[in-house]
Structure 1
């Protein structure tokens, strides 16, 4: 009954076999025992770019000298699921099956399945997995660095910073007052926190006082607190000051150079007697604190000008740490860029695969007047603006681009070039290096550089690049 129904269905489904073969997604090639191609379907034409009238009746060796069908024709045994790349960008899986009748080999049929899209999807999936793994790895590394504010948090490579950190680590073990000097953005606060974390006071409070942001009229009450009703607008219960809140710990006086002279004398008494009076108070308040101060000003010069008390200066400057500006330690720039690229890649859920050579050149040669703080902000901007994992020179802020565009620059004129020269030189170096690494294989060099091969040929010509021989 079932067989009868099947025969009936087949009878009503009267479609020629050739029509079916012409409309399937696999390429079909049939050769006879003389190696002549006797069938070549539409998908085979598409896969290999060879029309029927070009190949039918011809020896397959003329088109495919190493065709699998030739091996099957010799052995009479099938060969299945062999990967083949007929053209650049195409991936095909081939199965060649012998055609036999009564044990006699009549020919071979080859079935070629295009898996290019499947392979691309597989590649993209693996790429996505790799990116996730990379982000997870970097996130864990960043977490490790941020578990504590310690000296390991300070990113550097230069000998100058190494020596400075060794000194700071020794100082941390004592209770001596420390004066940290350096331009804005050099990381004075990071050193202050690291010293606190390296001291015996690390489990006690670390209280920051920004002397430049507190109005002079409020500075005394902020530092020392006040008694109930000490002045109009005061809280009824009074308020403890920063020094009381830091009991047993560290007070970090940031921008100490901005402190008014009158307040300086009161701070000196605290350092000498370890006690102070609240605003409106009559009883001294004893404190056990360590003072770390920081400034971007030349306090010694301010002492000469009468703008800073000499006795307070020497009290604060028991140990002095002078953080050099970033322009004086250029070897730290690459490691700082790498660190912040990873940090902001994680925060913005992005993976940066490539930085344009011109952008690298400018980042490494820019003098960074805002020091680490400026570099940090620029790298965050670059990560945010990056597209498809690439950072380009055009993503840099205008201030940096203008620096290199300034044709009237006199100082450092031999070191810095116009923007277009920087771009050309950086591209030339990158292309020459890629060609050398790939043994002058331009296809591989273009892939390494992430540019089309046609662009590579154009650059080689316009930049007059000689292919390296080594």
Structure 2
């Protein structure tokens, strides 16, 4: 059919109206229903519209007459004509094809709307009549599109938020894992405790630190929390106040618990505190750390004691045996003999070698302060007392050794307090009331005759017998002269790092002079003299001339014995001046003999002799003139 054939005459329209009326004449009931239906209904024959219901006119804007002048394809949207054609042909050929589908049609005003279309055919009056039913689904499509857009947007946002939450969750998981690893691997004991006193988390170190005392700690802390007896913990829960490094002391059937505690409230989302994190350190571990950085460590061993003296060697063996005892030790000896060296060696040889070695010089502390140094003090004990108090040497030395040097200088009133600590094995800080158990071995040293001090009532008798269980007397250096060369060589080696000399050479006369002196300052004085000689020396040769000049006037406390293996006719030297003069004379005699022998060897060749002595010809002539030596 061409385009001209689409236009109909009035007569033809009337004829078709009659034709359409006739088919529906027997279905007036249905005709009324069709005309009242909102569904767009087309009836066509041979591709021409022969009937449309009012819904078509209302929706598309075409009159019935206009619709009958149009081919059905005219109102189909161009984008869908091919699809409709293909499916129509398929149906005509008896092939499977959908009888309904969605596409767009064009209204009179040119607007395209979506319709859901059903195609069907009926036979009436021996004629094939095509029927099209269509729903206007434009709004549905629009809503669907909007829903699809909203759905896509929602899915995008959900995906985006899911990814964000997943990332945050991964971060939180990693953070929690890291926090857990930190807590579980901390060197301090950590516990999370609830407001009801229950333990939510314990790290391994907490269990390791407290062992069989763990249950006792749980009981004590729970009582403190429930009864409000510990202000620090109560304020942590009620006032959200953290605390740091506070001492807790509990007495239990299994022993005393002494710990250093820090607490931090854990605030939840609603601003309440239902649990707190506590770090509980055994006070012994804190003391170890304090001792480590304060130098409270024994560095000397018996192998560091240098001697060739039989009596001194026997003393060392006795001290080794004493090291394994639990008894207190009293070391007597003059100043500078090495009393602390023996004390450290005894500590390092004992079963307490892994514990602290804490030293206190009783003669160097003012009498008003020695009590707080030994026993510590509580907070507020006196003006200027540190917040939280301060532990004393006894507490710091617990598990190890307390070395009380110059014990003979301890004030008489403090001797009573010291005796009480030794007897009760516990210490009460000055200004405090809590007895703190201590496990300490005491080694005392004195340069006084403590027995005489006791007789003269300058030292308590009961304390003397408590301390003088194992007695060690270190002989002075003048009683072991054979140790002087060994000690000198040792001190020289110690000083090589500070000097250019790789090895200093000692003249025999110097050793003779050193052994002739009585050394009232003992080994300490000898060490000082060796270092001073190195400062005075010009080269590698150390001689009597390098001895400190201020030693010349020092009188020795006793008459000096002649050095062994010395073939000298002079009287034994009584002072270092005399020893030096004697050594100088011997050195000059030795040098004169050496020049004479070399002149004889080289038959008077002065140049050869000077080169051999590593001196100039002028210096050699001067020495020959001094010693009255001829060629």
Which range, TM-score by smaller chain?
Answer: 0.5 to 0.7
In the alignment, the residues of structure 1 paired with residue 455 and residue 627 of structure 2 have an alpha-carbon distance, to the nearest angstrom, of 57
Q: Give the match's secondary structure for 1:169.
A: helix
Q: 1:410 to 1:366 in 2, by over 3 A?
A: closer
Matched, 1:227 2:382: no
Matched, 1:414 2:571: yes
Matched, 1:249 2:400: yes
Among 486, 500, 506, the residue aligned to 1:335: 486
Among 154, 161, 171, the residue aligned to 2:305: 154
Q: Give the match's secondary structure for 2:380.
A: coil
Query: Would you say how many aligned residue pairs link Structure 1 and Structure 2?
Result: 316
Gaps of 5+ in 1: 1-145, 466-470
In the alignment, the residues of structure 1 paired with residue 612 and residue 410 of structure 2 have an alpha-carbon distance, to the nearest angstrom, of 56
The one-character-per-residue Cα deviations of 1:419-463 (angstroms, maximum 9, x if unpaired) are 433311244357769999x9x858999889776798789878967
Among 286, 290, 300, the residue aligned to 2:441: 290
Task: Decide which structure has the larger Cα Rg and report it.
Answer: 2
Among 498, 501, 511, the residue aligned to 1:347: 498
Whether the aligned pair in 2 keeps the contact of 1:366 and 1:400 (CA below 8 Å) is no
| 1:301 Cα deviation after fit | 0.4
Whether the aligned pair in 2 keeps the contact of 1:206 and 1:249 (CA below 8 Å) is yes
Give the equivalent residue in structure 2 for 1:397: 548
In the alignment, the residues of structure 1 paired with residue 338 and residue 470 of structure 2 have an alpha-carbon distance, to the nearest angstrom, of 17
Q: 1:458 to 1:367 in 2, by over 3 A?
A: farther
| 1:267 Cα deviation after fit | 0.8
Superposed, 1:52-67 pairs within 5 Å as: none
In the alignment, the residues of structure 2 paired with residue 232 and residue 455 of structure 1 have an alpha-carbon distance, to the nearest angstrom, of 73
Give the equivalent residue in structure 1 for 2:320: 169
Q: 1:394 to 1:170 in 2, by over 3 A?
A: same
Matched, 1:326 2:477: yes
Whether the aligned pair in 2 keeps the contact of 1:357 and 1:427 (CA below 8 Å) is no
Give the equivalent residue in structure 1 for 2:451: 300
Q: What is the CA RMSD across the aligned residues, in angstroms?
A: 3.4
| 1:160 Cα deviation after fit | 1.4
Among 409, 416, 420, the residue aligned to 1:269: 420
In the alignment, the residues of structure 2 paired with residue 448 and residue 195 of structure 1 have an alpha-carbon distance, to the nearest angstrom, of 53
| 1:353 Cα deviation after fit | 3.8
Among 355, 372, 384, the residue aligned to 2:523: 372
| 1:304 Cα deviation after fit | 0.8
In the alignment, the residues of structure 1 paired with residue 313 and residue 596 of structure 2 have an alpha-carbon distance, to the nearest angstrom, of 37
Matched, 1:388 2:539: yes
In the alignment, the residues of structure 2 paired with residue 446 and residue 196 of structure 1 have an alpha-carbon distance, to the nearest angstrom, of 58
In the alignment, the residues of structure 2 paired with residue 415 and residue 269 of structure 1 have an alpha-carbon distance, to the nearest angstrom, of 53
TM-score scaled by structure 2? 0.46
In the alignment, the residues of structure 2 paired with residue 250 and residue 400 of structure 1 have an alpha-carbon distance, to the nearest angstrom, of 38
Q: 1:450 to 1:176 in 2, by over 3 A?
A: farther
The one-character-per-residue Cα deviations of 1:164-215 (angstroms, maximum 9, x if unpaired) are 1011111111121111100000110100000000011111100001101111
In the alignment, the residues of structure 2 paired with residue 173 and residue 435 of structure 1 have an alpha-carbon distance, to the nearest angstrom, of 62
Q: 1:157 to 1:445 in 2, by over 3 A?
A: farther
Q: Give the match's secondary structure for 1:372.
A: helix
In the alignment, the residues of structure 2 paired with residue 263 and residue 306 of structure 1 have an alpha-carbon distance, to the nearest angstrom, of 14
Q: 1:455 to 1:212 in 2, by over 3 A?
A: same
Whether the aligned pair in 1 keeps the contact of 2:592 and 2:627 (CA below 8 Å) is no
Give the equivalent residue in structure 1 for 2:354: 203
Q: 1:461 to 1:208 in 2, by over 3 A?
A: same
Q: 1:435 to 1:373 in 2, by over 3 A?
A: farther
In the alignment, the residues of structure 2 paired with residue 224 and residue 448 of structure 1 have an alpha-carbon distance, to the nearest angstrom, of 69
Give the equivalent residue in structure 2 for 1:424: 585
Q: Give the match's secondary structure for 1:402.
A: coil
In the alignment, the residues of structure 2 paired with residue 311 and residue 216 of structure 1 have an alpha-carbon distance, to the nearest angstrom, of 21
Whether the aligned pair in 1 keeps the contact of 2:298 and 2:348 (CA below 8 Å) is no
In the alignment, the residues of structure 2 paired with residue 276 and residue 384 of structure 1 have an alpha-carbon distance, to the nearest angstrom, of 49
Whether the aligned pair in 2 keeps the contact of 1:182 and 1:296 (CA below 8 Å) is yes
Matched, 1:193 2:344: yes
Gaps of 5+ in 2: 1-296, 562-569
The one-character-per-residue Cα deviations of 1:194-239 (angstroms, maximum 9, x if unpaired) are 0000011111100001101111111111101111101111011100
